[in-house]
């Protein structure tokens, strides 16, 4: 019997810690880029309440991580106006790691451009983005990789000293 977590074939959610994570529905907003609304990417609120779009690099907080649509596959993006399933709370998921990102187990992750995830970089507090995940497997490939990560949507970035 395999040990640890197994990546499902057509689902992002791996473990929701017995109800501490939730799947909620949002509408893909008018400002979202449809090609970037892929399962495993992180999303933020668009200009209207209950509307989402892909997160940018070093977001201060995120709304959640896109889950696969009920009749779709892991590689199918949501279109603008679609009802999108979003994971929120504390959960383990397979997330989309930015290409050529060198992470090891336990690396802390922030949002990258296009809603992907990236390793937390050394930098000035208030300019690094909120820590939104911790890698559960290592990766150093030249393409976007789906890796297992422990995610949480309650993280916020610390403000810089003023």
Number of H-type helices and E-type strands within the chain: 0, 10
Model confidence pLDDT, tens digit, residues 68-94: 998 899 999 999 999 999 999 999 999
Q: With respect to residue 161, please indicate whether it lies within any of the assigned structural domains.
A: no
Q: With respect to residue 4, please indicate whether it lies within any of the assigned structural domains.
A: no
What's the total number of domains in the chain? Answer: 1
Taking the whole predicted model, whether its pTM rises above 0.85 is answered as: yes
Q: With respect to residue 2, please indicate whether it lies within any of the assigned structural domains.
A: no
Q: With respect to residue 157, please indicate whether it lies within any of the assigned structural domains.
A: no
- Percent helix, strand and coil across the chain, each rounded to 5? 5, 35, 60
Q: With respect to residue 6, please indicate whether it lies within any of the assigned structural domains.
A: no
CATH of the domain at 35: 2.40.300
pLDDT at 2: 61
Domain hosting 45: range is 13-152
């Amino acid at each position: 019997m395999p040990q640890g977590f197994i990546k499902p074939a057509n689902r992002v959610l791996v473990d929701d810690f017995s109800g501490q994570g939730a799947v909620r529905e949002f509408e893909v907003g008018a400002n979202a880029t449809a090609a970037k609304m892929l399962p495993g990417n992180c999303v933020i609120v668009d200009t209207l309440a209950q509307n989402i779009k892909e997160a940018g690099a070093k977001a201060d907080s995120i709304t959640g991580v896109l889950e696969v649509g009920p009749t779709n596959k892991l590689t199918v993006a949501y279109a603008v106006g679609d009802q999108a399933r979003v994971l929120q709370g504390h959960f383990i998921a397979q997330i989309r790691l930015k290409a050529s990102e060198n992470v090891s187990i336990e690396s802390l992750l922030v949002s990258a451009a296009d809603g992907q995830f990236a390793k937390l970089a050394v930098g000035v507090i208030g300019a690094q983005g909120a820590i939104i995940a911790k890698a559960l497997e290592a990766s150093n490939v030249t393409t976007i990789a789906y890796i297992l990560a422990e995610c949480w949507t309650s993280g916020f970035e610390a403000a810089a000293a003023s």
